[in-house]
């Protein structure tokens, strides 16, 4: 798949970055503000659809200290999928729901415990707000008493906040850093993407725009 090849190429470039910039990399990492762009693949499933993947693009901001950082990001996932909701009848009936695209906003605390020349592995925990952009019933609701119930279920399950964990590797040369990271998002009840745990594999580039600490006057 073309996207996978692009991600593999990006991670390979990280591995080829020269070690001669190690000292400068350390100076340009601590107390800095990185802006980044990224792309990747999201692996997911729903109550009505098996394992699927969707391409993602996004931006992120990383505000560092010496061994830690604040991570803020926004992503867009592109997909067409089918999920399902149920009514509250004595014998529940499932209704298919057509889904399209999702936005995701993430905030996390990162730890950079060690440095290997220009390479910094990292891990983190945080929360993600997931917003499915379009969700519409496919099957008609023939029971008038259940129409409002089913419609409310679709609207209520379009978005959900989820706990996440992350692991990644960043390689820095001067002000530029290439990175790859994996995000784990547990399945959430009452969410239209609830078939199983969701994984997001991403790669991208970050640029150090300057110090994150104001100068004393």
**pLDDT given for residue 13 in this prediction:** 44
The contacts of residue 55 (CB under 8 Å, 6+ apart) are 3, 39, 40, 41, 42, 77, 78
Kindly state the average pLDDT of the residues 159-165: 95
Percent of the chain with pLDDT over 90: 71
Confidence of residue 187 (pLDDT cuts 50, 70, 90): confident
Domain boundaries, the chain: 2-18+28-207
Distance, CA of 173 to CA of 64 (rounded, Å): 16
**pLDDT given for residue 1 in this prediction:** 52
Entry pTM: 0.83
CA dihedral 153, 154, 158, 160 (to 10 degrees): 10
Of 145 and 127, the structure prediction assigns the larger pLDDT to 127
**pLDDT given for residue 212 in this prediction:** 65
pLDDT at 207 over 60: yes
Distance, CA of 204 to CA of 180 (rounded, Å): 7
pLDDT at 162 over 90: yes
Kindly state the average pLDDT of the residues 173-201: 92
In sequence order, what are the beta bridge partners of 152? none
**pLDDT given for residue 214 in this prediction:** 60
Kindly state the average pLDDT of the residues 3-21: 45
Q: What is the CATH number of domain 2-18+28-207?
A: 2.40.160.20
pLDDT single digits (tens) 79-138: 999 999 999 988 889 999 999 999 999 999 999 999 998 999 999 999 999 999 999 999
**pLDDT given for residue 69 in this prediction:** 97
């Amino acid at each position: 798949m073309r996207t996978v090849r692009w991600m593999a190429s990006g991670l390979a470039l990280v591995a080829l970055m020269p070690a001669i910039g190690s000292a400068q990399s350390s100076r340009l990492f601590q107390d800095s503000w990185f802006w980044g762009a990224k792309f990747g693949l999201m692996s997911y499933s729903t109550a009505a659809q098996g394992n699927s993947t969707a391409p993602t693009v996004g931006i992120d901001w990383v505000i560092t200290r010496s061994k830690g950082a604040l991570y803020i990001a926004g992503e867009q996932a592109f997909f067409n999928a089918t999920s399902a909701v149920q009514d509250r009848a004595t014998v529940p009936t499932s209704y298919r729901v057509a889904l399209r695209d999702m936005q995701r906003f993430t905030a996390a605390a990162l730890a950079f415990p060690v440095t290997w020349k220009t390479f910094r592995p990292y891990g983190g925990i945080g929360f993600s707000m997931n917003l499915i952009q379009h969700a519409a019933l496919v099957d008609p609701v023939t029971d008038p008493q259940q129409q409002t119930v089913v419609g409310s279920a679709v609207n209520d399950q379009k978005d959900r906040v989820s706990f996440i964990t992350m692991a990644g590797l960043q390689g820095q040369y001067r002000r530029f850093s290439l990175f790859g990271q994996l995000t784990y998002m547990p399945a959430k009840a009452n969410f239209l993407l609830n078939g199983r745990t969701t994984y997001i594999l991403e790669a991208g580039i970050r640029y150090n725009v300057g110090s994150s600490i104001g100068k004393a006057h």
